[in-house]
Amino acid sequence: MCGIAGLYSPAGTPNPELVDAMRAAIVHRGPDDGSTDVFGRCVLGHQRLRVIDLDTGYQPVSNEAGDVIAVFNGEAYNFAELRSELRGHDVRGTGDTTVLPHLYEESGTRFVERLHGMFALAVWDAPRERLVLARDRLGKKPLLYTRLADGTFAFASELKALLRLPGLARDVDLAAIDAYLALQYVPGDGTALRGVRKVPPGHLLVVEGESETLERYWAPAPAEPSASDEEWLERVRTTVAAAVRRRLVADVPLGALLSGGIDSSIVVALMSQASSGPVRTFTVGFADERYDERTYARAVAERYGTVHEELEIVEDVATTLPRLAAAYDEPLGDEAALPTFLIAEQARRHVTVALSGDGGDEAFAGYERYIAHALAERVPGMAARAGAAAVRLAPSARREPRSALFRAARFLDVAATPRSERYARLMEVFPLELRRELWLESRHAAPVQLDPQAGGIAALQLLDLATYLPGDLLLKADIASMAHSLELRAPFLDHDVVALGLALPDHLKTRGREGKVALRRAFSDDLPPDVAQRGKTGFGVPLGRWFRDDLRELARDVLPTDRGWFRPDTVTRLLDEHEGGSADHGHRLWCLLMLELWVREHMETPALVAA
């Protein structure tokens, strides 16, 4: 696991000192070693976290002639197989990165299709003066790029590195900020800066001179169907188990993040069955029992005899947020970033690699919104609107996001929404009407486009795989873990597992209010009964209480601002309503707070906040 950065100038050799500065900004991604190397018109930088091939796995790596060079962030789990296929090549070392230049020689830009794993990479083809960037199929590893004012092309693992470049166009994209307010992340291939973009998941970007060609090399598609439920369940067992085993290859200590949900519990069960010694597991919890899953995590840890550690978040949250804002150089309003950041810090004290349950909900249809979306079809719009108004008369329907009445009112609101807008409403933090009230210029508020293009649960899974997963969950996990130099691996995001999950018949995805039916049935004997039967809870934090207590002073101090974006009176109203208990705006206030902290931490100069 590493961090990569580089510059390509069609006009001459870029300044290597700029790449040195870029590497310094992401040294946390690879604190074990680093280098900047000049290859004519291209300068490549790399920071290394040693995980495999500890003694000889340094980068950049090249072919025999030294004219095809690669830098790599991630893991190619099938590297041994690829090495054996490269007959006639002098493949140095014993790790994965050294196969890349030779694969490129064999297959050209399509070499990336042969990699099975998580990665962001760059290959410099010196004879053709061609730079090739590629990102893994599902977007587990980030890769950002821009074109500087002088025509130089720049890329890096994190925005922090690009922000070190004096020629970077730094105008904030207010359309992206509006989308962030709606969804808690910046969707698509853009970023919060107009001039910076992301290489999309499953794509490669070929840069030659002034031209940039984006090519898609993979798209999620269902696996071949099975004949019976029993065959489906056996395939789930074998495919997930193979994905876990694939991710146990490491030359450094390895463990697991255990939440108490079925996804991470299955990962720990399969790790324990495949390992010769006890697995190390790490769990985070809260004193507030509504948000605490440690009891379930302990049951799994005890069943498999893991070396188990727990972290309770009891420190002053307000003192932790500046560290979180420093880590996240893109706006992210997912409150689960905080416990993920802290448990990654705890785990890194003991291991270098950790497996997680990320992706289980997308692969096997675990979200309640999939069920809600289908049920909403059966509720007449007029009845839904009347029902929502009636339910909201109860105080808990306005103030307690985890209460049954709050969720019922939200469902009825969604059911009253036109079908084409329904999924967007399920995902929205700030609905369109509230964003229009918030912006000083209401024209900045735009409808969110999240309309599934087909029917059935698979259409919703595909939509989440293309939007929510890379835009939110994978960004959250990568930044939180790599901030502490911890490599995070997600077996449920193996593309074979995803293809299988998409292909499952709907009755093996959801049943009544239960999701992940196939996963529960396939691994029911491997989990404690209380864990196997649990519903979806999510990795939440007590935002409602925090903004009336721990974060109240900070929020009042930081919000509202005079940045010229939002109406101060609207922000003040949200704070007043939340503190007074007439509504729960905890999630919205968190999004506003993290946005403002992002600006202060990473963008705070007059030139950086231009509209």
Catalytic residue numbers read 2
Dihedral (Cα; 296, 317, 473, 461), 10-degree rounding = 60
**CB neighbour class for 223 (10 Å; exposed up to 12, middle 13-18, buried from 19):** middle
**CB neighbour class for 551 (10 Å; exposed up to 12, middle 13-18, buried from 19):** buried
H/E/C letters for each residue in 282-337?
EEEECCCHHHCCHHHHHHHHHHHCCEEEEEECCCCHHHHHHHHHHHCCCCECCCCH
Location of structure tokens 């007059």: 606
* Residue 265 and residue 308 in contact, taking contact as beta carbons nearer than 8 Å: no
CA distance 480 to 257: 13
Tell me how many degrees the CA angle 29-120-78 measures, rounded to the nearest 5. 105
* Residue 159 and residue 193 in contact, taking contact as beta carbons nearer than 8 Å: yes
Where is 385: in which H helix or E strand?
Answer: helix 381-391
CA distance 206 to 156: 15
Whether omega for the bond prior to residue 560 falls within 30 degrees of 0, making it cis, is yes
* Residue 472 and residue 334 in contact, taking contact as beta carbons nearer than 8 Å: yes
**Three-state DSSP class for 537?**
coil
CA distance 502 to 223: 7
Tokens standing for residue 209: 């001179």
CA distance 141 to 119: 5
Location of structure tokens 């083809």: 125
Phi and psi at 22, nearest 5°, equal -65, -45
Cα 394 to Cα 376, 386, 398, 436, 582: the distances in Å are 22, 14, 7, 27, 11
- Residue 33 pairs in a beta bridge with 48
* Residue 518 and residue 504 in contact, taking contact as beta carbons nearer than 8 Å: yes
- 469: DSSP letter: I
Cα 540 to Cα 244, 285, 334, 543: the distances in Å are 26, 10, 9, 8
* Residue 509 and residue 365 in contact, taking contact as beta carbons nearer than 8 Å: yes
Whether omega for the bond prior to residue 60 falls within 30 degrees of 0, making it cis, is yes
CA distance 569 to 108: 57
